[in-house]
Structure 1
Amino acid sequence: MKIMCLNGPNLNRLGKREPEIYGSETLQDVENKLVALAETLGATVDFRQSNHEGELVDWIHEAEDAAFDAIIINPAAYTHTSVALRDALGGISVPAIEVHISNIHKREAFRHHSYLAPVCVGQICGLGTTGYEMALRYFTQR
């Protein structure tokens, strides 16, 4: 099983940015854990991060064109603003799970709405970086 894991804006600052909300793990720590878990589950993970919406859209298209089996996406702030990401995910046949480290429903009101949730298999939020692992397990066990 081949899984693409996409991370949106500011996640490159994970471990430095607002550790009281996002914790002290870096994005590299998350990648290392996810890749190691994938190996034990017989999967591979292509882990990517961009601060640019268009690049994320291109990667979503690539997920279908390159025959990925699933997408794990933490769209970060684009969750609440990006119709482009929503349309990209809605326009492909590759299933996706939306992941958030913090509980977006317990934060500012503008974070409560996700443009992506309706075109994803599910949404995992508020469980820290374990959400990535849960999404990976879901895809490898179905």
Structure 2
Amino acid sequence: MTRLIYVLNGPNLNMLGVREPEIYGTETLADLRSRTEKAAAANGLTIEFRQSNVEGELVNWVQEARGKAKGIIINAGAYTHTSVAVLDALQAVGLPVIEVHLSNIFRRDQFRQHSYVSLAATGIICGLGGKGYELAIEAMTDILSKGGNKA
């Protein structure tokens, strides 16, 4: 049986490779997708990889994942720090959640050091660039092998 994982990306991640490469690196979102798909295949997972600049669309995708996916990997971008709506959706679906950030949010602006998403996350990976997506796949594989518990 295929284990589907939603990999959701928030605002401005479509600008990777162009936007502040000294912070976010030179990989594009397409590069991250390819990297994540390879890691998923190696771990017996399939992914639904999406990006939106619209908060409500991310909320809709989180809700959609409830009936289709075994877990969610999310880089909510700036919505990490502002969106109670994304938090509420993640908490409502009852799926394991891995929060990913390309940069180390704890070495950045003070406002970026608070994460609403973390309140719903099983785990957090930050500061490792695109490698963080691969590690999130490995972590999700481990979580699912232990029964998919949220905590």
TM-score range relative to shorter protein: over 0.9
2:32 matched residue in structure 1:
30
Give 1:13's aligned residue. Answer: 15
Unaligned runs of 5+ residues in structure 2 are 144-151
Matched, 1:93 2:94: yes
- SS where residue 62 of structure 2 aligns? helix
Structure 1 equivalent of residue 146 of structure 2:
none
What is the match of residue 127 of structure 1? 128
Query: Which of 66, 73, 84 is the aligned partner of 1:64?
Result: 66
CA distance in 2, matches of 1:107, 1:82: 19
CA distance in 2, matches of 1:98, 1:54: 18
Q: CA deviation at 1:141?
A: 2.5
Cα distance between partner residues in 1 of 2:98 and 2:42: 20
Alpha-carbon distance in structure 1 between the residues aligned to 2:111 and 2:38: 35
Tell me the C-alpha RMSD between the 2 structures. Answer: 0.7
Paired residue secondary structure (1:124): strand
Return the offset for 1:93.
1.1
Q: Could you tell me how far apart the structure 1 residues matched to 2:114 and 2:12 are?
A: 19
State how far apart, in whole Å, the 1-side matches of 2:44 and 2:80 are: 30
Give secondary structure in 1 for the equivalent of 2:93.
coil
Give the AA of the match of 2:127: G
The alignment's TM-score, normalised by the length of structure 2, stands at: 0.91
Q: Kindly provide the amino acid, as one letter, of the partner of residue 123 in structure 1.
A: I
Q: 1:106-139, CA deviations, whole angstroms, 9 ceiling, x for partnerless residues?
A: 0000101001101110111111111111110011
Residue type of the partner of 2:57? E
What is the TM-score of this pair, normalised by structure 1? Answer: 0.97
- Residue 81 (str. 1) matches residue 71 (str. 2): no
The answer to whether 1:48 aligns with 2:50 is yes
- Aligned residue pair count: 141
Does residue 3 (structure 1) correspond to residue 32 (structure 2)? The answer is no
Displacement of 1:88 after TM fit? 0.4
Q: Distance in 2 between matches of 1:141 and 1:121?
A: 12
Aligned to 1:39: 41
Structure 1: gaps (5+ residues): none
- The whole-number CA distance in structure 1 between the counterparts of 2:67 and 2:18 is 35
